[in-house]
Amino acid sequence: MPTVRLRNASEYPEAAQRVFEGSKQWFNHDFAEPPAMSRVMAWDMDFGGPHGRAMKRAMAPGEFTRGEKEMVAAVVSGVNACSY
Amino acid sequence: MDGDALWYEAAFVVGITNALNVVADALTDARSLGATIPAPDEASAPAEVASTFGEIRTFYARADVPVAFRLLAADPGYLADVWGATRRAFEDATLTRRVKEALAFAVSVTTRSPFGTAFHLGEMRRLGVGDKGVMEVLGVTQMFSSYTKIADTLQLEPDMGDIAPSDPSPPPGA
């Protein structure tokens, strides 16, 4: 059970709605509600904005593909014992 | 990238990387503090490990045997089995060796392993990964070390399990 009440997308302001639309495109998936992490990051756009941009920059194809980087992200999450 | 094979391969890389790192780091630290652990030098290793040491040198294209394996030489049978699992985990398969070393590097950085970080960085370099590629792996490692802690602090529950298809294929050899 999350320690906060995760707000529905409809409760967020317009700027956050654009972030949620970006999440759909990023994951190429039409979520019924934006992922919990997207809604968390949208709580404070002055944090979530640059954090999200840094993530997208880190995940962009370069010497490693996006898919390979997703796998790196998965093992880092696994080693950190993060179930999310 | 799809199919379960690559995820099994990634998991085996994570597991054996962590296994080698914990012993290499712990015993190196313990020795520096005066613990009585046999010196992990090749010259004093039992003769029975010569074949395994040879395979290790060939696999890593280096003249010496990494300390993580030298530390296991007192039990040649155990060393041979650990090495067999390591070689299998890291050889080219569905995932390339280059990607597997990147995963091992990320694991080593995340678990703060001095041995693993240096060793797998060296292997990434040897396999052709440049400064930009190393920074890419560090960037992903850093950002997901942030996301995971945010998720854990807020105790978020997984909600993206449906975005990947399941793999209906049987295990190899079935």
Task: Locate the domains of chain A by residue range.
Answer: 13-79
Considering the entire predicted model, what is its pTM?
A: 0.92
What's the complex ipTM?
A: 0.91
Residue B169 counted as domain residue:
no
Instruction: Kindly report the nearest CA distance between residue A15 and chain B, in angstroms.
Output: 21
Residue B119 counted as domain residue:
yes
Whether residue A83 and residue B106 make contact (CB cut-off 8 A), yes or no, is no
Instruction: Kindly report the nearest CA distance between residue A29 and chain B, in angstroms.
Output: 7
Domain that holds residue B150: 5-157
Tally of structural domains, chain B? 1
Residue B58 counted as domain residue:
yes
Whether residue B1 and residue A65 make contact (CB cut-off 8 A), yes or no, is yes
CATH number at residue B124: 1.20.1290
Residue B108 counted as domain residue:
yes
Instruction: Identify the pLDDT of residue B122.
Output: 98
**Closest in A3, A27, A79 to B155, CB measured:** A3
Average pLDDT over residues B115-119: 98
pLDDT over 80 at B38, yes or no: no
Residue B90 counted as domain residue:
yes
Pseudo-torsion of CA A34, A36, A41, A44, nearest 10°?
90
Q: Is A1 on the interface with B (CB under 8 A)?
A: yes
Whether residue B107 and residue A1 make contact (CB cut-off 8 A), yes or no, is no
pLDDT over 90 at B63, yes or no: yes
Residue B89 counted as domain residue:
yes
Instruction: Identify the pLDDT of residue B42.
Output: 84
Instruction: Identify the pLDDT of residue A69.
Output: 97
Residue B170 counted as domain residue:
no
Measured between CA atoms, the residue of chain B closest to residue A33 is: B159
Confidence band, pLDDT 50/70/90 cuts, at residue B138:
very high
* Residue B3 burial (C-beta neighbours within 10 Å; 0-12, 13-18, 19+): exposed
Amino acid at B62: R
Residue B171 counted as domain residue:
no
> Over the stretch A3-14, which tens digit does the pLDDT of each residue have?
999 999 999 999
Instruction: Kindly report the nearest CA distance between residue A7 and chain B, in angstroms.
Output: 13
Mean confidence (pLDDT) of chain B = 93
Higher per-residue pLDDT: B1 or A7: A7
Measured between CA atoms, the residue of chain B closest to residue A57 is: B139
DSSP A7-72: PPGGGS-HHHHHHHHHHHHHHT---SS--HHHHHHTT-HHHHHHHHHHHHHHHS-SSS-HHHHHHH
